[in-house]
Amino acid sequence: MEPLDAIRALLAPLFPGLMGVQLVEVTPERVRATLVVRPDLCTTGDSMHGGAFMAFADTLGGIATYVNLPPNSRTTTIESSTKFLRGAPVGSTVQAECTAFHKGRTTMVWQTLVRGADDRLCAVVTQTQLVIPA
Amino acid sequence: MEPLDAIRALLAPLFPGLMGVQLVEVTPERVRATLVVRPDLCTTGDSMHGGAFMAFADTLGGIATYVNLPPNSRTTTIESSTKFLRGAPVGSTVQAECTAFHKGRTTMVWQTLVRGADDRLCAVVTQTQLVIPA
Amino acid sequence: MEPLDAIRALLAPLFPGLMGVQLVEVTPERVRATLVVRPDLCTTGDSMHGGAFMAFADTLGGIATYVNLPPNSRTTTIESSTKFLRGAPVGSTVQAECTAFHKGRTTMVWQTLVRGADDRLCAVVTQTQLVIPA
Amino acid sequence: MEPLDAIRALLAPLFPGLMGVQLVEVTPERVRATLVVRPDLCTTGDSMHGGAFMAFADTLGGIATYVNLPPNSRTTTIESSTKFLRGAPVGSTVQAECTAFHKGRTTMVWQTLVRGADDRLCAVVTQTQLVIPA
C-alpha cells in the first residue's frame, strides 16, 4: 500500500473520515487536502462551521508532523490559532495546504491556508505540535 | 417550544449535530454542553481529535454570542485560539462551559473551558465574535 | 534579599525595567504587577500600545513559570495569544494578574488579565511556556 | 516631508521609539523594519524578550493597517497570536516584514515574520485589526 493510501486508511474511521477530508498530497514539506462543504459541516446560514475549518486544518498539521517525526516519537497539538477571513457556502469545495514554519526536535509549527472558490483565502490556521518521545 | 429546545432543533442538522453536541444550559451569561467521545470524533491513539475540541468550543461561543445579539444583527467567529492541556480518551464524556470576557457592540470575546474525567481541564478556547448589522 | 526583591533586581536592566513594570506579588500560584502608562508606552491616540500590553503580560507569565521550574531546567515562551478588549489612556495605571491553567513537566499554560481604571478588563493574554532541561 | 519620515516622526516619542524600531519600508502592500537587540530589550539569558518581539511586530501591523485605512476611520488591534521559533541574542539585529492576509472594510489580518542572523525565522505574529469609523 502506498503511504498516502495508508494514511487515508488510518483516518477513515476517525474524525477526518467523519468529516470527509480527502487527502491529496502528503510529503515532509507539504500536506494538501480538499473537503466538500456538506450541510452537516455547516453552521446556520448554510456556511461552513468555524469548527469544521479548524478541524480540517488541524488534521493536516497533525499529518504533516507525523511524516516528519523521528523514530520512537509521537505528536500532539499543543496550541492552534485561527483567523477566519471569508465564509465557504454549502455545496462548495474548500482546499487546504499546510507548510512548516519550524521543524524542530521538540516542537514543529505549521500553517494551513484554507481556500474556497476562485482560490480566495477563507481561513489561516497556525498550530504548534509537540514532539514526544514514545 | 423552549428556547433551549429551539436551539437544539436548529443545530441538529448542522455540524454540532453531526458531532453529537448536547446543550445543557444556554443563558446570556453562560453556555454549557457535553459531548461523548465517540470513536469517530478521535484521532489516532483513541483520543479526542484536536479539531473536535475546537469545534465543540466554537459551537458554544457562537451560541453564546447569538443569545446576546442586539436586534437586526448576526455574528461570525473572526478568530479563535486554543491551548490543549490533556487528552480525552474514547468513550469518556467531556463537558464545556463558555463565559464572556467582553460583550461589546462590535465584538464579543468568549472563553470555553473543556473538562474531562474528574473535572480535569483538557482545553481552553478563547474566541472573538464579530457582531454584524444584518 | 527577599525573593521578590531578587526578581526585581534581575529584571531592572532588562525589558521589564525599561517599561517600568512593578512586581507586586510573586508566588507559585499567582504573579501580580502594575504599570504606569507613560507616554513612551503608548501608540497614537495617547493610548497604551498593544505591544506594551503583550510585553507586560509576557513578563508575568515568564516569572510565573520561573518560580515553578523544577531544578536544572529553564523556560521559554513558545506561543502567546492576546485579545484586546479596551484601551488604557496615558497617565493611567494598569494592573495584571497571572494564574495557571496547567503546570506540567513539559509545558505550562498561563493566563494574564490586564485591568485598567475601575478594574475594567483591557486585555487577556494566554501563553504557553516550554520547560527545557538545562 | 516624505510619508516614511512622517511616520517615523509620529512614532519617535511613542513605544516604537523607546524600543528603537527602525522603519525601512512602508507601502500598502508591505511594511519592513529592523531592531537592534539592545540589552534593555532582553529577558534573562541575554536574549530578546518575547514581549519585545510582539511589540516590534504589532507596530508593523498597526502601520500597515494605518496606510490602508479608508478616509475617516481609525484602527485598533483586536487580537494577536505569536509563535516563537528561535531566540535572538543581545547585540544582533532582527528584521521584520509584514504582509496582509486580508484587507477588508471591517477587519484586516496581517502576518509579520521576524528574522534574525542568517535570515533564520525567529517569530511569526498574526494579528487582526479592526477598522473603526472615526
Query: Which DSSP letter does residue C28 get?
Result: S
**Which of D15, D39, D76 is the closest to C51 by Cβ?**
D15
The C-alpha of C43 sits at a distance from chain D's nearest C-alpha, in angstroms, of 6
φ, ψ of residue C53 in degrees (nearest 5): -60, -45
Which of C18, C67, C129, C132 to probe the D interface (max D CBs under 10 A)?
C18
- Counting Cβ atoms within 10 Å, is residue B10 exposed (0-12), middle (13-18) or buried (19+)? middle
Between chains, do D81 and B78 touch, taking CB under 8 Å as contact?
A: no
What does the buried/exposed string (b/e) look like for A82-111 if buried means 16 or more CB atoms within 10 Å of the residue's CB? bbbbbbbeeeeebbbbbebbbbeeebbbbb
**Which of C106, C128, C132 is the closest to A79 by Cβ?**
C128
**Which tens digits make up the pLDDT trace of C61-96?**
999 999 999 999 999 999 999 999 999 999 999 999
Count other Cβ atoms within 10 Å, centred on residue B69. Answer: 15
Cell of C19: 517599561
CA atoms within 13 A on the CB side of B100: 19
Instruction: Spell out where A27-67 has E strands.
Output: 30-36, 42-43, 47-48
The C-alpha of A70 sits at a distance from chain B's nearest C-alpha, in angstroms, of 17
CB contacts of A106 in chain C (<8 Å) are 130, 132
Between chains, do D101 and A121 touch, taking CB under 8 Å as contact?
A: yes
φ, ψ of residue D9 in degrees (nearest 5): -65, -35
CB contacts of C107 in chain A (<8 Å) are 78, 130
> Tell me, what's the pLDDT at A117?
87
ipTM summary value? 0.97
CB contacts of C39 in chain D (<8 Å) are 13-14
**Residue ranges in chain A whose pLDDT is less than 70:** 1-2
Residue with cell 491551548: B83
For residue D83, is it left (φ>0), alpha (ψ between -120 and 50) or beta?
beta
| Position C42 pLDDT exceeds 80 | yes
Rounded CA-CA distance B4/A126 in Å is: 34
CB contacts of B97 in chain C (<8 Å) are none
Nearest to C108 by CA among C132, C84, C124: C132
| Position D109 pLDDT exceeds 80 | yes
| Position B2 pLDDT exceeds 70 | no
For the sheet with C30-36, list strands across it. C22-26, C30-36, C93-103, C107-115, C121-133, C73-84, D73-84, D121-133, D107-115, D93-103, D30-36, D22-26
- Contacts of D among chains (3+ CB pairs under 8 A): A, B, C
Q: How many CB pairs under 8 A join A and D?
A: 36
CB contacts of A102 in chain D (<8 Å) are 83, 85-86, 121
Show which of residues 58-87 on chain D sit within 8 Å of chain B, judged by CB atoms.
78-79, 81
CB contacts of A78 in chain C (<8 Å) are 78, 107, 128
Between chains, do C111 and B124 touch, taking CB under 8 Å as contact?
A: yes
Nearest to C99 by CA among C6, C15, C12, C25: C25
Do residues D68 and D110 touch, judged by C-beta distance below 8 A? Answer: no
Percentage of chain C exceeding pLDDT 90: 96
CB contacts of A81 in chain D (<8 Å) are 81, 126
- Counting Cβ atoms within 10 Å, is residue D86 exposed (0-12), middle (13-18) or buried (19+)? middle
Cα dihedral B2, B6, B12, B16 sign:
negative
> Tell me, what's the pLDDT at A2?
66
> Tell me, what's the pLDDT at B27?
96
Element (H, E) at A8: helix A3-11
Residue of chain B whose Cα is closest to the Cα of C78: B83
Q: How many CB pairs under 8 A join B and D?
A: 18
- Contacts of B among chains (3+ CB pairs under 8 A): A, C, D
Nearest to B50 by CA among C127, A78, A67: A78
pLDDT bin (cut points 50, 70, 90) of residue C134 is confident
Q: How far is CA A134 from CA A102, B85, D114, in A?
A: 21, 18, 33
> Tell me, what's the pLDDT at C70?
94
Residue with cell 525595567: C17
Between chains, do C81 and A78 touch, taking CB under 8 Å as contact?
A: no
Rounded CA-CA distance C24/C30 in Å is: 10
| Position B91 pLDDT exceeds 90 | yes
| SS3 annotation, B4-62 | HHHHHHHHCCCHHHHHCCEEEEECCCEEEEEEECCHHHEECCCEECHHHHHHHHHHHHH
Rounded CA-CA distance A107/C107 in Å is: 11
Rounded CA-CA distance C61/C64 in Å is: 5
The C-alpha of A57 sits at a distance from chain D's nearest C-alpha, in angstroms, of 16
Mean pLDDT of B28-45: 97
Residue of chain B whose Cα is closest to the Cα of C81: B81
- Counting Cβ atoms within 10 Å, is residue C120 exposed (0-12), middle (13-18) or buried (19+)? exposed
What is the per-residue DSSP string for D14-66?
A: SHHHHHT-EEEEE-SSEEEEEEE--GGGEETTTEE-HHHHHHHHHHHHHHHHH
The C-alpha of D95 sits at a distance from chain C's nearest C-alpha, in angstroms, of 17
| Position D90 pLDDT exceeds 90 | yes
Rounded CA-CA distance C64/C28 in Å is: 6
List the alpha helices (DSSP H) in C1-134: 3-11, 15-19, 50-66
Which of B79, B107, B110 to probe the A interface (max A CBs under 10 A)?
B79
- Contacts of C among chains (3+ CB pairs under 8 A): A, B, D
Cell of A27: 510529503
